[in-house]
Structure 1
């Protein structure tokens, strides 16, 4: 995949997230065979299961102070997206973190995503 194509897709993904449409971003930019590892180190396989886990997380957010995209870098078929997050979660309390999503692309979609902070 060309760097410009991935950059364009990431712009669309960030735009959807900024509009409060993270599930639309998931539907559009994530591969059916997605493997996603969040900060807890647990890897979830498959788009449907990742969608379920994401919906559960979002349903437990009680307040948002910051949810901001801070930068993007694309190298080959890998992208790095920096997010600054500060929100309250019903189970986990306050979450205040700057994290990097490391994304591998295949067939025009994110097939593997890992988060580090």
Structure 2
């Protein structure tokens, strides 16, 4: 993929999340062999497992005040998204600015890491 193609894909991914459709973005843009490292440093592999965990996380949300992209950067086959997140979960509030680093392969995200 070119940087322009990744930019368009990231823009669409962000738009889907903004519409409350993060799992639609996941289905479209994530590779079957995705490797994802969460803020807690735990790494998970495989689209089926990560999709299951994503649905569990979404079911845990009680209220969303903000879940927006503040900025994006695309360089070569890597994208960076800065997210502003302010929501309540069953475990309590989550208020964080995080950076997602995504590596793209074959038009999809093959590796994703979160940092806050």
TM-score, with length taken from structure 2: 0.98
2:56 alignment counterpart? 56
2:29 alignment counterpart? 29
Listed as ranges, the gaps of 5+ residues in structure 2 are none
Structure 1 consecutive aligned stretches of length 4 or more whose deviation exceeds 6 Å: none
Corresponding residue pairs, total = 116
1:115 alignment counterpart? 114
The separation in 2 between residues aligned to 1:55 and 1:30, in whole angstroms, is: 15
* 1:1-117 equivalences in 2 (<5 Å): 1-91=1-91, 93-117=92-116
Residue by residue over 1:15-57, the C-alpha shift from the partner in whole angstroms, topping out at 9 and shown as x without a partner, is 1111111110000000000000110111010001000111100
Listed as ranges, the gaps of 5+ residues in structure 1 are none
Residue by residue over 1:61-80, the C-alpha shift from the partner in whole angstroms, topping out at 9 and shown as x without a partner, is 01111111101001100110
| SS of residue paired to 1:86 | strand
The separation in 2 between residues aligned to 1:26 and 1:63, in whole angstroms, is: 21
